[in-house]
Amino acid sequence: MRSRMMRGTTVLPGTESCRTPREGALPMHRLEVPLPNAMPFAIGTFDTIGPMSRAAFPHRHTFYEIVHVTGGTGAHVIDLSRWRLRPPHLCVIAPGQVHHWDDVTGLEGSVVLFTEDFLLDHPGDRELLRRIAERPWRDLDEQTHARTARLIADLDEEYRRGAAGFATVLRALLHVLVVRTARLPEPAPPPPPTRHGAVAEEFLRLVARNEPALWSAAACADRIGVSVGYLAEAVKAATGRTPGRLIREARTHEAKRLLARTDLTVRQVAARVGFTDPAYFCRFFRRETGVSPGGFRRGGDVHGDIHHDHRLLSIVRPKPSA
């Protein structure tokens, strides 16, 4: 059963954690917790949190994510604003914001995940976090980076030890992190919306409908009223990726959801994601995921989709040390 205290924001392992998105909505990810009424908080590195902490497809959260980037190249795209990685950085992603990592290699750092329910002791932090998320990317100088790293290390140690009163200490340390982040100089304001941005946003909305009739760049361009070439230019400028690549990822994501959450046959799943030939669908799915549809259904993605994925337990708080 769900924890009523969390108002559906956090879900228990094995609980249906993501319903089919409403028309026009991007995937919405929730934070899963290991036990009834467990605190909706987790911290770790990109590696320990899991591959979904580097999610390469546009998506939203029902929770906050604070990212301390200490290494890597590529870009982080948040609400169509592209932030180039030149570590160290600190980033706040608020519930509902659309983001993904693009062409990232060697990504290193820490990830802090929590819902609004965790801000019990400091409810004013909600407004601070929303304000920070309006311009979410913060460059850190050497001194601020070192101080941030120490604070996050304290959070991580407290979380992993699980000693008496650790939840209260975590809330206090998180409060300090939020307040200190709010003090940092804001980055330059993003440029005003352009037609490119509006076209890219409409394209993402169309692709998120999961309608086979819209799973081609030509169909989307026709629906938006632009040429295929202009669509490619706009989407590439806004997201750093091609329409074709984003459509392939959307079809793969929907196929994974159907394989994991329904009893549809592979042939039926293929039809749902726009493939008339099941054999071709199987080749497509293996090329995109590294595993066959049947293998995915039996054992899960070889890349280990965890963190805030729809299917699997995302966060398990380590047992207290002896």
pTM score of the predicted model: 0.62
Token pair for 153: 């290390």
Q: How far apart are the C-alpha atoms of 43 and 67, rounded to whole Å?
A: 10
Instruction: Write the DSSP string, 303-316.
Output: T---SS-SSS----
Rounded to the nearest angstrom, the gap between the alpha carbon of residue 26 and the centroid of all alpha carbons in its chain is 11
Check residue 183 and give its pLDDT: 94
Min mean pLDDT across 13-27, 70-84, 204-218, 304-318 is at 304-318
36, pLDDT greater than 50 = no
Strand partners, 90: 68, 138
Q: What is the mean pLDDT of residues 251-279?
A: 88
How far apart CA 320 and CA 157 sit, in angstroms, is 11
Confidence check: pLDDT of 309 > 70: no
The H helix count followed by the E strand count for the chain is 11, 10
Domains by residue range for the chain, with CATH = 4-183 (2.60.120.280), 195-299 (1.10.10.60)
22 pLDDT band, cuts 50/70/90, is very low
Q: Higher pLDDT residue, 129 or 5?
A: 129
The more confident residue out of 160 and 60 is 160
Q: What are 67-99's pLDDT values in tens digits?
A: 999 999 999 988 878 888 999 999 999 988 888
pLDDT mean over 185-199: 72
Please return the burial class of 322, using the count of CB atoms within 10 Å of its CB with bins 0-12, 13-18 and 19+: exposed
Q: Which amino acid is at 160?
A: R
Beta strands in 46-156 (DSSP E): 60-61, 64-78, 81-84, 89-93, 99-114, 137-139
Nearest to 100 by CA among 186, 26, 16: 26
139-177 tens-digit pLDDT: 999 999 999 999 999 999 999 998 999 999 999 999 999
